[in-house]
Structure 1
Amino acid sequence: MEVDANKGEAESDFAAYRNPLVSVTMASTFFLKLVSFLCIPFMTIYLSKNVDAPPYVIGIIVGGSQLGSLTAGFFSGVLADRVGKRRVLLIGLFGSALVFLLFWTVATWFRGAALFPVAFGLLNACYGVMSAFFWPVTQVLMADSLPKERRPAVFRHRYVVTNFAVGIGPPAGAFLGVASARAAFVISGCSYLVFALAFWWLTRGTGFGASDRAAERRSFTGAIKVLGSDRVFRGLTVSMILFTLAYCQIDSNLSAIVNRGFSDGVRFFSVLLTVNAVAVIALQPPATMIAKRIGPRRTLLLGNAVFTVVCLLFSLVEFSKTGLVVLIVLVSAAEVLVVPTVSVVVDELAPPTMRATYFGAATLRNLGLGAGPAAGGLVLASFDRGLLFVFMGLCGAAAWAVVHFTLRENSDADTGPSPESV
C-alpha cells in the first residue's frame, strides 16, 4: 500500500505537465539557462582578453546586467499585474533574443574600437532589463497554471532543472570552444527567439493576456507603499542583497582569479560551475529536511553562517584546485539553505493580486549581484586575493545579522526548493 501511495504521489507530481504552458515553461527554464551559461559566466574572461581596463572597470561592465534587472524588476512586476503577464513576458523574450544578436554584432564588427566596452556594458544592462521582464513572470505563470497542492513539486523540479542547465552549459561551452566566443551569442539569441514564438502561440486568447482589475487601480506608488510596509519582505530583501553581493564573486571575480592562477583556467572554472550545480542538486534533499525541521528563519541563519565561516576559513588556506572544489561544495550547501527558503517566503507573502509585483520586487536582491563584481574587482585591485574571501565572509555575516534582527519565524512555511531568482 505504501508503494502504491508513493507511486500515486509521483504520478500526481508529473500530472502538472499535461498543461502545455507548464511543460513549455519548464523546457524554457532548462534551455534558456543552458544557452545563457554558454557565455554569461565567461563575460569577465572575454572582456579581460579584449578590453584594456582594470578589474573593477570590467566588474562594472559585467555587473550591468544585474543593475538592469534591479532597475526593471519592480516595474515589470507591477506592470504585469496591471497590463497582463503575456505582454511583459513576450517583451522580455523577444528583447533578450535581440540583445544576444546585438552582442554578436558588436563582438564581430566593433571589437577593438573605443566604444566597444561601452556598447557591451549597455547591452549587458539591456539583457538584465529583459531578464527582469521574463523570469519573474514565468514564476507567476507556473503558480497561476496549477492548483496550490501541485506547485511545490513543480517548483522543486524547476530548481533541479535550473541547476542541471547551469551545470551543463559552462563545460559544454568551454569544451566545444564556444564559451566567451561569438557563437555563444548567436546560439543564445536564436534559443530565446524560439521560446518567444512558443509562448506567443500558447498564450493567445488565454487569461494571461488580461490585467488584474484590482492591480489596474493600484499605482506604482501604491505598490511601493504595500511592499515597504511589509517588514518581513524588507528584511529578506536586505539580507539577500548582502548575500548575493558576496555569492556573485563565484561567478565573476573568481573566474579571473582561476584564469590567472592555472594554465587551464577557463576549463577548470567550468568544472567549478559544474561542481556547484551538482552539489546543489545532491544537497537539496537534506537541506529540505533541515529547513522543514527548523523553520525558515533558522534555515536562513544557518545558511548565512555556513557561508560566512567557509569564506573566512578559505582566506587562510593555500590556494589550490582541491581547495577551490571544497570551497564550492560548502558554498553550495549555504546556497541550498538560503536561496530556496527566500523564494518560498516571498511566494507566501504575496497577495494573489500582487504576485507578479512581489516576485518582480524580489529582484531588488540583484543590487548585490550588480555591485558585487565591481566591489570584488576593487578589492582584488587593491589587496591580495585572500582579502576577497574575507570580504565575502563579512557580507555573509552582515546578512546573518539582518535575518536575526528583522525576520520573524514562520514554522508553517514549506521551505523546499522554489523558482530561482533573476
Structure 2
Amino acid sequence: MNVPVRRGGGDFAVYRTPLVSVTMASTFVLKLVSFLCIPFMTIYLSRTVDAPPYVIGAIVGLSQIGSLGAGFVSGVLADRVGKRRVLLVGLFGSSAVFLLFFLTATFLRATVAFPVLFALLNTGYGMMSAFFWPVTQVMMADSLPAERRPTVFRHRYVLTNCAVAIGPPVGAFLGIASARAAFVVSGSCYLAFSLAFWWLTRGTELGAATAPSERRSLGGALRVLGADRTFRGLTLSMVLFALAYCQIESNLSAVVSRGFADGVRFFSVLLTVNAVAVIALQPPATAIAKRLSPRRTIQLGNGLFAAVCLAFCFVEFSKAGLVALVVLVSMAEVLVVPTVSVVVDELAPPGLRGTYFGASTLRNLGLGVGPAAGGLVLAWADRSLLFAAMGLCALAAWAVIHLTLKENPGADPGPSPEPV
C-alpha cells in the first residue's frame, strides 16, 4: 500500500501519513513498557522460583523460541491474507498475555504450576511479538515511496533505542521493574494501540491479500527460502551473533546482581548505556558502513564483538569495565544489525517481502537458546568462561559471513528494526 506523501517538508514530512505517525508512536511506547519488565525476568524468576540458573534461563528464552515458527508463519500469512489481520492478532494477543502474566503472578505465585504457566505465557508473548513487529517493517515500507523509507527507518531505530534507554531505569527506580505492576502497564498500552490500529486501518488496503497468482503456500515459501544460500548463511550468522549478544540482556543481569550490592540498579544503568551508545554511535557507524561493503561491515562488527568479549576474560571485573564492554558491544550491534536487515530487504522478491522479513526472525533461535546456554555455563564455571563463549560465537558468525555472503559495495546499510 503506497500512501501518497507530499514532497518537501524535510525528514519529518513522513509523519503527514497517519499510519506512519501511529506506528512510530507504538514503536516507542510499546518498547518502553515492554522494557519495564522483560529484561528483569531473570531476576524476577530467580527470586520467585527455586530453580538452577539454566532452568530460569530456559524459561526466559522461551519467548524467543515462540517467535521462531510464529515469525515465519506470520510473514507468509501477511502475504496471503493481509497485513491488518496479522497485525491485530499480534497486538491484541500481546495485551492478553501481559494481563495473564499479572493474574498468574497475583494468584498462582506460590503454586507448583507457576513456573509452567509463566513459561507458557512467555512463549505466547514471543509468538504474538512475531505476529506484530515483522509486519510493521513491511507496513512502514509499503506506506511510503522508496525515497522516504530510509528516513522513517532511521527515526524508528532511534525511537526504539530511546525507549530501551528510558524503560529499564524508570522501572527500576520507580520500583515496578520485576514486579506485577509492570505487567499491567504493558498490557494496557498494548490494548490501547490495538484499538488505535484497528480504527486506523479499517477499510484500508492493509487487509488485502496478495493476488492469487502471486501467492505461495507455506511449503512453497519454504522452498524459496531454502534455495537462497545467501539468506541461509545470513540467518545462521545472526543466530550465532544473537546467541552471544543476548547474554548482555539475560545472564549478565545475574552476574551483575551477584557481583555488586546495587546490582539490579546498575544492570538497569548498563541497559541504558547500551541504548544511548547505539544512538550516539550511529553517525560513525554509518560513515564506516558507507565506505565498506555489507559483507565487510558485518564482519567488522562480529570481529569487534569477539575481540571485546575475549579481552574481557583477562581484565578486572568492575563497573567501569562493564560500561566499556557494553559501549563496544553497542558499536558492534550498530554495525551488524542494520546491515543484516538491509541485505534481507535486498534479497526479498517483491511478492515475498512478508515471508522474508518473517523468516528473518529465525535469528531469534540464538536469543531463545542463549539464556539457557549461558545459564548452564554459569552453573558449571565462572563468568570468564561466559565471556569466552560469547567471543567464540561472534568469531563463528564472522566465519559464516566470510563463506556465504558475496560482496555488494553499492549497498548503503541504514538503521532498521531490532530482533523480536
TM-score by length of 1: 0.97
Taking the TM superposition and a 5 Å limit, the aligned residue runs for 1:292-331 are 292-331=290-329
Partner of residue 281, structure 2: 283
Aligned pair 1:48/2:53, yes or no?
Answer: no
Q: Distance in 2 between matches of 1:354 and 1:146?
A: 18
Q: Distance in 1 between matches of 2:150 and 2:409?
A: 17
Q: Which residue of 1 aligns with 2:3?
A: none
Does structure 2 conserve the Cα–Cα contact (< 8 Å) formed by 1:303 and 1:337? Answer: yes
Q: Give the aligned partner of residue 359 of structure 1.
A: 357
8 Å CA contact 1:81–1:216 kept in 2: the answer is: no
1:195 alignment counterpart: 193
AA paired with 2:417? Answer: P
| Bigger mean CA offset, 200-209 vs 341-350 | 341-350
Contact preservation (8 Å) 1:304, 1:338: yes
The 5 Å alignment of 1:91-240 reads 91-214=89-212, 217-240=215-238
Q: Is the 8 A contact 2:79 2:215 kept in 1?
A: no
Could you say which residue in structure 2 is the equivalent of 1:5?
none
1:347 & 1:29 partners in 2: Cα distance?
Answer: 20
**Offset at 1:350?**
1.1
Q: Which residue identity lines up with residue 40 of structure 2 in the other structure?
A: F
Residue 228 of structure 1: CA displacement? 1.1
**C-alpha contact (below 8 Å) 1:215/1:353 kept by paired residues:** no
Offset of residue 399 of structure 1:
0.2
3-state DSSP of counterpart to 2:9? helix
For 1:262, the aligned partner's letter is F
Cα displacement string for residues 79-111 of structure 1 (whole angstroms, at most 9, x for unaligned residues): 110000000000000000000000000000001
Q: Match of 1:61, as an amino acid?
A: I
CA offsets 1:98-130 (integer angstroms, 9 cap, x no match): 000000000000012101111100000000000
| Matched residue type, 2:19 | L
Name 2:336's counterpart in structure 1.
338
| Kept in 2: contact 1:81–1:357 (CA 8 A) | yes
**Structure 1 residue 410, shift from structure 2 partner:** 1.1
Paired residues, number? 415
Partner residue, 2:61: 63
Q: CA separation of 1:316/1:215 partners in 2, compared to 1, >3 Å: closer, same or farther?
A: farther
- The separation in 1 between residues aligned to 2:305 and 2:220, in whole angstroms, is 36
Deviations 1:204-254 (A, max 9, x none): 000000100157631101001111111111111000000000000000000
Per-residue deviation at 1:421?
2.3
Aligned to 1:29: 27
Indicate if the aligned counterparts of 1:96 and 1:130 stay in contact, CA closer than 8 A.
yes
**SS across alignment from 1:250:** helix
Aligned-partner Cα distance in 1 for 2:9–2:167: 29
Equivalent residue runs for 1:256-275 within 5 Å: 256-275=254-273
Distance 2:306 2:213 in 1: 40
Q: Residue type matched to 1:245 in 2?
A: L
Shift of 1:285: 0.7
- For the aligned residue pairs, the C-alpha RMSD in angstroms reads 1.2
Q: Which amino acid aligns with 1:355?
A: R
> For residue 76 of structure 2, what is the amino acid of its counterpart?
V
| CA distance in structure 2 between the aligned counterparts of 1:349 and 1:413, rounded to whole angstroms | 12
SS at match of 1:249: helix
Q: Is the 8 A contact 1:65 1:125 kept in 2?
A: yes
For the Cα contact (< 8 Å) 2:214–2:351, is it kept in 1? no
1:405 corresponds in structure 2 to: 403
- SS of match in other structure, 2:247: coil
1:329 match: secondary structure: helix
- Structure 1 residue 11, shift from structure 2 partner: 3.0
Post-superposition CA distance 1:15-67 (Å, at most 9, x none) = 11100000000000000000000000000000000000000000000001000
- Residue 9 (structure 1) shift: 9.7
Amino acid at match of 1:361: A
Distance, in Å, in 1 between the alignment partners of 2:247 and 2:418 is 18
1:245 aligns with 2:237: no
Counterpart code for 1:398: A
Distance in 2 of aligned mates of 1:309 and 1:148: 37
Cα deviation, residue 352, structure 1: 1.7
Letter of the structure 1 residue corresponding to residue 125 of structure 2: Y
CA distance in 2, matches of 1:175, 1:126: 28
CA contact (8 A) 1:215 1:354 kept: no
- The one of 387, 394, 397 equivalent to 1:396 is 394
Deviation of 1:353 (Å): 1.1
Paired with 2:271 and 2:8, the residues of 1 have a C-alpha distance of 30
CA distance in 2, matches of 1:235, 1:11: 40
- Secondary structure class of the residue paired with 2:77: helix
Asked if 2 retains the 8 angstrom alpha-carbon contact of 1:81 and 1:215, the reply is: no
Determine the structure 1 residue equivalent to 2:17: 19
Pairwise CA distance, 1:295: 1.3
Confirm or deny that 1:87 pairs with 2:88: no
Write the deviation string for residues 112-154 of structure 1: whole angstroms up to 9, x where unpaired: 2101111100000000000000000001110000000000011
Partner SS state of residue 63, structure 1: helix
Provide the identity percentage.
76
